[in-house]
Amino acid sequence: MNDLFTYTLRLGDDALIAAQRTAEWIAAAPQLEEDVALGNIGLDQLGQARTLLQYAGQLEGAGRSEDDLAYFRDERDFLNLQLCELPSGDFAHTIARLLYFATYQHLLYEELRGSADETLAGVAGKAVKEVAYHVDHATQWVLRLGDGTEVSHLRMQAGLDAMWPYTAEMFASDELVRRLPVAVDPSKLQDEWSRRVTEVIDESTCTRPTSSYQHSGGREGRHTEHLGYLLAELQHVARSHPGASW
Amino acid sequence: MGEVADPEVPVLTIADLGVLRGVRREGDEVVVTITPTYSGCPAMDVIRHEVELTLQALQVDGRVETVLSPAWTTDWMSEEGKAKLTEYGIAPPTGQRAVGGPISLSLTIRCPLCGSPDTTELSRFGSTSCKSLWRCNSCREPFDHFKAI
């Protein structure tokens, strides 16, 4: 399988699965403005996913469209980070994930803007500006909840703790990213990510989690039990009525 | 071609917005290049369709190409476009980004309805990806702001 296809699929799957989880909050967020905000963030992620999956389809050369890749692959064929597929849970869990993931995406896209691959550089140049707003949104909420009431502080801390064991996977380097010159080796983003995230958590009066056990496997198609349920919801209409349009 | 309107903000044309990047001739074909404001902008499909209809109406063979780079920025919005936005009740982009710099800034946006600078941001995300939601403390009206990106 071609390396660039696999790399593009990883980035596209991260964006697609994150978009699906984020969109779950529409009409269920704590306030109307938050419905709109998370809806917009999910839409940005979906837009990134569409361009990346479309490009992956071209690279593969087997005639698969963005829709084929999104709707007609099974769980083991998805290469997204496990962090993206975890249940939305408590609102603070979602915000913790957004802080971790958007900060990572921002650093990644900043680097990828300089990639020699024109399409990846184009997606990154566009997305980096959108993701800056996602980081800002997550930061404002972590500060407000962490430094809020006793209850909001406890729940923010619980969210940060619950998502933490899935963060190391974002920075795991492997053979593929090392031999693909247009890719960004994510391991070099970790120090700056850690610095930025720690600064927000410290300011919010929460404590940076220190859990030592870290999950992994998403990049090889090994997922948590939650991805299957997410895909069932994402894919069932397309699979029940293949080729339908409206 | 520059007369095709943005389906979300119909007072603006795609030329005002900077979404229309170019029109060129390739042999017997006309190629119209457009770029999305945001990656997920749902208006792009409608805009592409409208451009195709315009080509058909002009009886020109052509196609529409979408480009991502250079990435769209509110700096490309024409002065005329900004004036039309204000008149429509949407505060135009200021040229200063609210995020992305070393520190997050709170910038004052003038109310497009009464002109007061005494306004409050209610949400950084508004009715579409490209807008944020504000309220004027003088005339008490809520309004959209086309945020700088």
CB–CB of A43 and B42 under 8 A? yes
Statement to judge: residues B99 and B119 lie in one domain: yes
CA distance A27 to A35: 6
DSSP A173-218: --HHHHH-TTS--GGGGHHHHHHHHHHHHHHTT------------G
Q: Same domain, yes or no, for B141 and B82? A: yes
Say yes or no to pLDDT of B102 above 60. no
Torsion angle of C-alpha atoms A228, A233, A234, A235, degrees rounded to 10: 80
- Percent share of chain A, pLDDT over 90: 95
- Residue A92, pLDDT > 90, answer yes
Which 106-125 residues of chain B touch chain A by CB within 8 A? Answer: 122-125
- The reported pLDDT for the residue numbered A123 is 95
**Closest CB from A36, A45, A119 relative to B123:** A36
Q: Determine, yes or no, domain membership for B101.
A: yes
From CA A53, how far away is CA A13, in angstroms rounded?
8
Contacts B125 to A, Cβ<8 Å: 33, 36-37, 39-41, 133, 137
* Site of tokens 């693909």: A180
User: Do B57 and B78 fall into the same domain?
Assistant: no
- Structural domain including B56 reads 14-66
Same domain assignment for residues B81 and B134: yes
B105 touching A, CB under 8 A? no
Confidence tier at B106 by pLDDT (50, 70, 90): low
Q: Are residues B127 and B88 in the same domain?
A: yes
pLDDT tens profile A131-150: 999 999 999 999 999 999 99
CATH class entry, domain A3-240: mainly alpha
Residues B124 and B105 in one domain: yes
Instruction: Report the relative pairing of strands B119-123 and B29-34 from DSSP bridges.
Output: unpaired
Give a yes or no: residue B1 inside a domain. no
Residue with tokens 């566009």: A126
* Chain length of chain A: 246
What residues contact residue B103 under an 8 Å CB cut-off, 6+ apart? none
Average per-residue pLDDT in chain B? 87
Q: Is B38 inside any structural domain?
A: yes
Which residue in A has a C-alpha nearest to residue B38's C-alpha?
Answer: A44
State the pLDDT at residue A19.
98
Question: Chain B residue closest to A44 (CA)?
Answer: B40
pLDDT for the residue numbered B3: 83
Strand order of the β-sheet with B20-26 is: B20-26, B29-34, B62-66
Residue where the block lists tokens 């940076």: A208
Please state the rounded mean pLDDT for residues B85-89: 92
Q: Do B99 and A136 touch (CB under 8 A)?
A: yes
**pLDDT tens column, B19-42:** 999 999 999 899 999 999 888 888
Does B80 map to a domain?
yes
Within-domain flag for B103: yes
CB contact under 8 A, B98 and A136: yes
pTM for this predicted structure: 0.91
Strands, E assignment, chain B? 20-26, 29-34, 62-66, 90-91, 119-123, 131-136, 142-146
State the average pLDDT over residues A43-50: 96
Token pair 């410290």 is at which residue? A202
Closest CA to A134 of A84, A92, A172, A99: A99
Question: Same domain, yes or no, for B78 and B103?
Answer: yes
State the best of B39, B145, B147 to mutate against chain A, taking most chain A CBs within 10 Å.
B39
A128: nearest CA in chain B? B100
Give the number of beta-carbon pairs within 8 Å between A and B: 84
Count of domains observed in chain B = 2
Residue B2 lies in a domain: no
The per-residue pLDDT for A98 is 98
Whether the pLDDT of residue B101 is over 70: the answer is no
What ipTM does the predicted assembly reach? 0.81
Which of B121, B124, B125, B128 has the highest number of chain A CBs within 10 A, making it the mutation to test binding with A? B125
Please tell me which residue of chain B has the smallest CA distance to A103.
B100
Identify whether residues B138 and B78 lie together within a single domain. Answer: yes
Shared-domain flag, residues B134 and B82:
yes
Domain end among B66, B96, B126: B66
pLDDT-derived band at A1, boundaries 50, 70, 90: low
The 3-state DSSP class for residue B136 equals strand
d(CA B147, CA B140): 20
Question: Within this chain, do residues B60 and B79 fall inside the same structural domain, yes or no?
Answer: no
Q: What is the mean pLDDT of residues A169-191?
A: 97
CB atoms within 10 A of CB A103: 25
Q: How far is CA A86 from CA A17, A18, A105, A128, B3, in A?
A: 10, 9, 17, 23, 46
Sign of the torsion formed by the C-alpha atoms of B33, B35, B39 and B40: negative
CA A127 to CA A105: how far, in whole Å?
Answer: 9
Residues B80 and B140 in one domain: yes
Q: How would residue B71 be classed by pLDDT, with cut points 50, 70 and 90? A: confident
The DSSP symbol for B59 reads T
